[in-house]
Amino acid sequence: MRTRTRLALTSVASTSALLAMPSVDAASTVVARYQMNESSTASVMNDSSGNNLDGSIGSAVVTGAIVSGATGYRFPFTKPNQPPAKPQRLVKVPDDARLDPGTGNYSVTVRYRTSESFGNILQKGQSGAKGGNWKFQAPKGIVRCVFRGTQGQATAGSGVAINDGRWHTVRCDRTPTSVTMTVDGRVTGKKNRSTGSISNSNPLTIGGKLNCDQINTTCDYFVGDIDYVTIAKG
């Protein structure tokens, strides 16, 4: 396992405050682990969990990018809403039921950095998709995770912008009754609301939306670097 440099938020909580942090009913079984440490010539994103949920890397995504000791994927600058659509900017993992939250506990963790104030970081499904959807987005640099299911929608966020160009580890835990966000080990937001079942037939995409044309539906492309993504259930 490679060593990762972890940088805290500018206003980091004290050790005692972190120890008093509210507990999260975390998902326990990893279903996909994307270390994103492939070489600069890679076209396949490998799932190291053993479940073989590999993805295809778009030709515009830069692999093997090294920043502050971490090797990840770079998503070069582009405007998030300027035509034409650029599907070559995305990493796509084919639909699999193991990637859907269903009705139980579900956890997504992503380590990323950006200096921009826009972008969908990753998602499975889009707004209005049959079966619901979930996503991580960062309007104005404030990261939010959104879970929409048969019983409604719940959102949790970072509260403050973290588009400071530093690495941040963001985790969202969805339970049957809540959504909780943790940034760099500190709980920053929680919404107590039932979302019901979330299960769609869309691929997991990293770096923006897949079903978009930049005219009627913007693609909300992410610009920055992603070090890893982990998805867990149960």
The CATH number given to whatever domain includes residue 38 is 2.60.120.200
Is residue 12, in this structure, part of any structural domain at all? no
pLDDT digits (tens, 9 = 90+) for 128-180: 889 999 999 999 999 999 999 999 999 999 999 999 999 999 999 999 999 99
Q: What is the mean pLDDT of residues 91-110?
A: 98
- Poorest-pLDDT segment among 11-25, 104-118, 165-179, 194-208: 11-25
- Using CA atoms, how far apart are residues 43 and 73, in angstroms rounded to an integer? 11
Is residue 10, in this structure, part of any structural domain at all? no
Q: Determine contact, residues 180/107, Cβ cutoff 8 Å.
A: no
- Structural domain boundaries enclosing 33: 25-76+87-233
Per the structure, the count of domains in the chain is 1
Is residue 16, in this structure, part of any structural domain at all? no
Is residue 123, in this structure, part of any structural domain at all? yes
Q: Residue 134 in 3-state DSSP?
A: strand
pLDDT at 25 over 70: no
Q: What is the mean pLDDT of the chain?
A: 91
Is residue 2, in this structure, part of any structural domain at all? no
Is residue 14, in this structure, part of any structural domain at all? no
Question: pTM for the whole thing?
Answer: 0.89
Rg, C-alpha atoms of the chain: 16
What pLDDT does 128 receive? 83
Is residue 203, in this structure, part of any structural domain at all? yes
What pLDDT does 26 receive? 67
Distances (CA, A) of 9 to 18, 166, 189, 203, 227: 13, 9, 15, 31, 17
What pLDDT does 8 receive? 35
* Maximum separation of any 2 CA atoms in the chain, in Å: 50
